[in-house]
Amino acid sequence: MTAMTTSPDWWRDAVIYQIYPRSFADADGDGIGDLPGVVSRLLHLAELGVDAIWVSPFYVSPQHDGGYDVADYRAVDPVFGTLGDADRLIEAAHAHGLRIIVDLVPNHTSWDHPWFQAALHLGPDSPERACYLFRDGHGPDGAEPPNNWQSVFGGPAWTRVTEPDGRLGAWYLHMYDTSQPDLDWSSPVVRAEFESILRFWLDRGVDGFRVDVAHGLVKAPGLPDWEADPEARTRPPMWDQDGVHEIYRAWRTVLDEYDHHPILVAEAWVEPPERLMRYLRPDEMHQAFNFEFMFTPWDAARLRSSIDRVRTASASVGSVPTWVLSNHDVVRHTTRLVMPPAASHVRGIGPNDPQPDEAHGLRRGRAATLLMLSLPGGAYLYQGEELGLPEHTTLPDETRQDPTFGRTLGQILGRDGCRVPMPWEELAPAYGFSSTSNSWLPQPPAWAHYAADIQQAVDGSTLEMYRRAIALRAAHGMGAGELTWIESPAEGLLAFRNADITVVVNTGTEAVETSDLGAVLLASGPVDVATSGHIALLPADTTVWTT
C-alpha cells in the first residue's frame, strides 16, 4: 500500500481503475453491488497497484440507464447505500492510498429529478421548463417532433408530454432514453446548480469527476435537422459545439480552488484527436479518454499511427494521452480484439451471433494490455479486466437491462455483456460477488475459472501480470517516460523504447525471431526464455517488456 503523492500532476501517469458499482461487490445480498461492497474489496485494488478509482454513478436514480439517469445529485441511491457510505468509501479509499473520482452526469437528468417533475406538472410557463429543451412540435397540432434527431439508444430523440390541462403539448429532447431529458445549458440556473454539485462532492473529499457525455451539453442554436453525411465532415448540431468549453473553464476555476488537486476527465466521443484536445487546453479538463486507440484494430501499423496521432495532439496543448481499452459501454477488449470490427463492438454479442475464441481473445487481450500499460500517459482499467474477463456473449434476452435493447426492439443487444458481476471466489455463491447467490445479471459458469482468489499469487495468471505490469511501470517511470520507436524489419511487430525498457508487440499471426532483444522482464504470454534470460522467438499476439 503506497501513500498518495501530493503532486498536482498526479494524474499525468496515473493508472485509474473503473468501478461499475452495480457489478463490483454486493455487501447486502440483494444481487446488486453497493458502496459497502466496494469498501470491502479496496485491498484488491491497493494490491493491484492502481493510483485511483473512478466510481460510476451511485446517486438516487430510477436506474433506467444503470444510474446514468440521476434524480438527486447529492444523495446516494438506497440500492447502493447512504451518503454516510459514500463518505466512508472516500475515507477508506484514501486510507488505502487511492484517489477517488466520481461520475458527473450533466447532459441530462432523470425524469424523476424534481426540476423535470415540476416542468411537467407546473406546465409550459414554469421556470423549470427553461432548464430543459422543451419545444413545440411541427405539423398540424404539433404532432411531429421538433426536428429529426435520433436518440443514441435508438428511436426519436423527442417525447411529447401531456400538459397539466390534459392536452398533448410540447416535446422534450432526450439524446438518450426517454427517461433522460437533456438539460438546457444556456440556463444560468443549470450552470449554477452544477457548480454547486461540484463543490458538494469536492467538499466531501473526492479527487475529481469523470464527466459523462462531455461533448453533448451545448446544442447548435435553433436545433437544426441533421442528416449524417460522412463526406461533408460537418459537425453534428448536438455534439462538440464550441460553447461547451466555457462550461469547463468555469468548472476548472472551481476545482482549482481546492488544494488537493482534483481533476476533470472527459467522456467525449469526438474526432479527430485535434478536436478532442480542445477539451484539454490548460484551463479546461485534465484528461479525455482516447476512444480512437480503444477501437484501433490489432494491427502494428495502425496502432503505431493511432498512438502517434494522439501523442502529437496531446503535446500541442501541453497534455498527455489517456489510454483505455475497456469500459462499461463497449465489448470487453479480450473479446473485441478477436471479433470482426465495428458491428459487434457497439451492438453487443448475443447467443445467435458467431462466438469469439475465448483463449485467443485472452491471449490478444493480455498483449494489448501490456502495450497500453507501457505507453507514456495515464491509463484507465475497467473492473474485471485484471482477471481477464471476457464479454458475456450468451446472455438470455429476458435478462437484458440496457435501455438500448428495448428501444431498438432487440436490434441492438446493448452493453449488458460487459457489466456482468465480478467473480471473486471460485467456490462461493455468485463467485463471491454477493453474500447470497443473487446477481442482477447471470454470471456464466465458466467464470469460476477467472475468480480472483485462484489467480492470486499464481505465476502467469492475468491478475499477477497486471500487478507486475503496474509495479514495473511505476518503478521504471514509464507513465512519465518518452516513447521512441524502433524500426522493425518484421511486419506485424511494434517496437519502442520507453524509459529504460524495450517493448515489443507481435500483432501478427506467426512467431517472429527476436535475436537482439534484451532480458525479459515481463511477457503477456508464454515465451521460451533461454538461460541468458533472452528469447529467440516472440509468439503471435504477445507483448514483451525487456531491458
Please give the residue ranges that form the binding site for ligand GLC (CB under 6 A): 65, 68, 105, 176, 212-213, 267, 328-329
Q: Taking a C-beta distance cutoff of 8 angstroms, is the pair 101, 286 a contact?
A: no
Report in angstroms how near the CB of residue 193 gets to ligand GLC at its nearest: 17
3-state SS assignment for residue 405: helix
Residue 442 CB, shortest distance to ligand GLC, in Å, is: 20
In the bound state with ligand GLC, the residue whose beta carbon lies nearer, of 131 and 483, is: 131
Task: Return the number of the residue (105 or 157) whose C-beta is nearest ligand GLC.
Answer: 105
Q: Which residues contact 81 (CB under 8 A, 6 or more apart)?
A: 34, 35, 36, 58
- 390: cell is 471476457
Nearer to ligand GLC, 215 or 473 (CB): 215
Q: How far apart are CA 43 and CA 55, in angstroms?
A: 16
Smallest separation (angstroms) from ligand GLC to the CB of 267: 6
- Shortest Å, Cβ 162 to ligand GLC: 25
Number of neighbours of residue 411 by Cβ within 10 angstroms: 10
| Smallest distance from ligand GLC to CB 209, Å | 13
CA dihedral 308, 311, 316, 318 (to 10 degrees): -170
Report whether 240 contacts 213 (CB < 8 A): no
Residue in 293, 323, 273 with CA at minimum distance from that of residue 11: 323
Q: What is the number of the residue whose Cβ is closest to ligand GLC?
A: 68
- Closer by beta carbon to ligand GLC, 278 or else 328: 328
Nearer to ligand GLC, 153 or 323 (CB): 153
**Residue written as cell 482516447?**
290
26, 37 contact by CB (below 8 A): yes
- Cβ–Cβ < 8 Å for 49, 474: yes
Query: Which residue, 210 or 363, is less far from ligand GLC as judged by CB?
Result: 210
Strands 59-60 and 537-538: unpaired
Taking the complex as a whole, the smallest distance from the CB of residue 542 to ligand GLC amounts, in Å, to 31
Place of cell 408530454: 161
| Closest to ligand GLC by CB, 176 or 279 | 176
Rounded Cα distance, 365 and 387, in Å:
11
Q: Which helix (H) or strand (E) holds 46?
A: helix 42-48
Phi, psi of 359 (to 5 degrees): -65, -40
As annotated, the active-site residues are 212, 257
378 or 479: CB nearest ligand GLC: 378
* 127 upstream amide cis, omega within 30 of 0: no
Residues composing the chain: 547
Q: Tell me, rounded to whole angstroms, the distance of Cα 156 from its chain centroid.
A: 25
Backbone φ and ψ for 94, nearest 5 degrees, come out as -60, -40
| For the chain, counts of helices (H) and of strands (E) | 15, 20
Closest distance of CB 352 from ligand GLC, Å: 24
Closest CA relative to residue 509, chosen from 303, 294, 293, 298: 298
Instruction: Give the residue with the Cβ less far from ligand GLC, 13 or 267.
Output: 267
DSSP state letter for 355: P
State in angstroms the smallest separation of the CB of 423 from ligand GLC: 22
Smallest gap from residue 351 Cβ to ligand GLC (A): 23
> In sequence order, what DSSP letters do the residues of 146-173 get, joined into one string?
SS--B-TTSSBSEEEEE-TTSSEEEEEE
Cα(366)–Cα(364) distance, rounded to whole angstroms? 5
